[in-house]
Amino acid sequence: MSKLSWKETNDIMSSMGEAPEIDRDAFWKKFKEEAEFLPREPAVVKQEPQHVPAFGLRMVAALGCVVFIAAIVTFLSLNNPSAPAVADQDNNIEAFEVLATNTGVTIIREDVSNSTILWIEGME
Amino acid sequence: MKAQGYLIKALALVFVMMLTASVASANSTLSIRLVEARTAKTRTVIMPSDPLQDIRPALNKLDFGSFELVDSKELPLPGRGEVSLKNGLTVSCQGPQDNLHLVITRQNTKVIDSKIQIRDGKPLILGGFPSDNGKLLIVLLVK
């Protein structure tokens, strides 16, 4: 495609002479009549930009979800019927030291009353 | 703003749930009773308001004639405190009930230093402290 300079373009257009006169009203009447038969595209509805929460808010929401899941897990573990209930276990004396003078220590586990007895003999 | 409102409500719900869970797991109380076990057999009439009723099956396993409540105190669990009982005895508790550090002193002298796991409704009896009429027992029970 050749590229014309502005001067060349001006010269060509000048040599073409005056543009023929047209009837404006007739032109627009014909234009409107033809436009009636043209398929029309649906009107473009201007959509509101979708609301995107701020980054900080999204972070808080994510943190909230994590805390929520942690709370659910904690709640379920506290109420898990398959976990051994603390009440089903016996008392346990893991370690003890008797610092008073004594002659002996006896530990008794009594099943009927579910009790544990630590008895110090001969304590002074 | 609507989303922010929902978020605040969700966080409030989580907070309430966590608070409920923590309260539910920390509302135990350790009952500490000082009981005198008497050698002499006395006629004991057990009344419905017997303060030792819940631990009587355990006490009856001990070879004594009768039992009498001398003092009674309570500590919240997890324990972090000390109670003074009559006869110069002091019970100090520290920690949760499955890892409770228990120290008993008598006249400001440490007598027993122990680490115990104590279960709900199961008495733990520490006995053999000298008394004029027999022996003194400290009965621990988680309620």
> What is the DSSP code string of A23-68?
-HHHHHHHHHHHHHTS--PPPPPPPPPPP---HHHHHHHHHHHHHH
Q: Where are the beta strands (DSSP E) in chain B?
A: 29-38, 66-76, 79-84, 89-95, 100-106, 109-117, 124-130, 134-142
pLDDT tens for each residue of B80-111: 899 999 999 999 999 998 999 999 999 999 99
Of B80, B86, B66, nearest to B129 (Cα)? B86
Asked if residue B47 has pLDDT above 60, the reply is yes
pLDDT at A61 over 60: yes
Phi, psi values for residue A60, rounded to 5°: -65, -40
Q: What is the pLDDT at residue B100? A: 93
Whole-prediction pTM: 0.60
In this predicted structure, the answer to whether residue A84 has a pLDDT above a threshold of 60 is no
Best of B2, B14, B25, B91 to disrupt the A interface by mutation (most A CBs within 10 Å)? B14
Chain A / chain B CB contacts < 8 angstroms: 133
Q: How many CB atoms lie within 10 A of CB B61?
A: 14
ipTM confidence score: 0.78
The answer to whether B5 contacts chain A (CB < 8 Å) is no
What pLDDT shows up at residue A19? 78
Contact state of A94 with B3 under an 8 Å Cβ cutoff? no
* pLDDT band per the 50, 70, 90 thresholds, residue B140: very high
- Chain B residue numbers with beta carbons less than 8 Å from the beta carbon of A121 are 128
Which residue of A69, A93, A106 is the best one to mutate when testing the B interface, meaning the one whose CB has the most B CBs within 10 A? A93
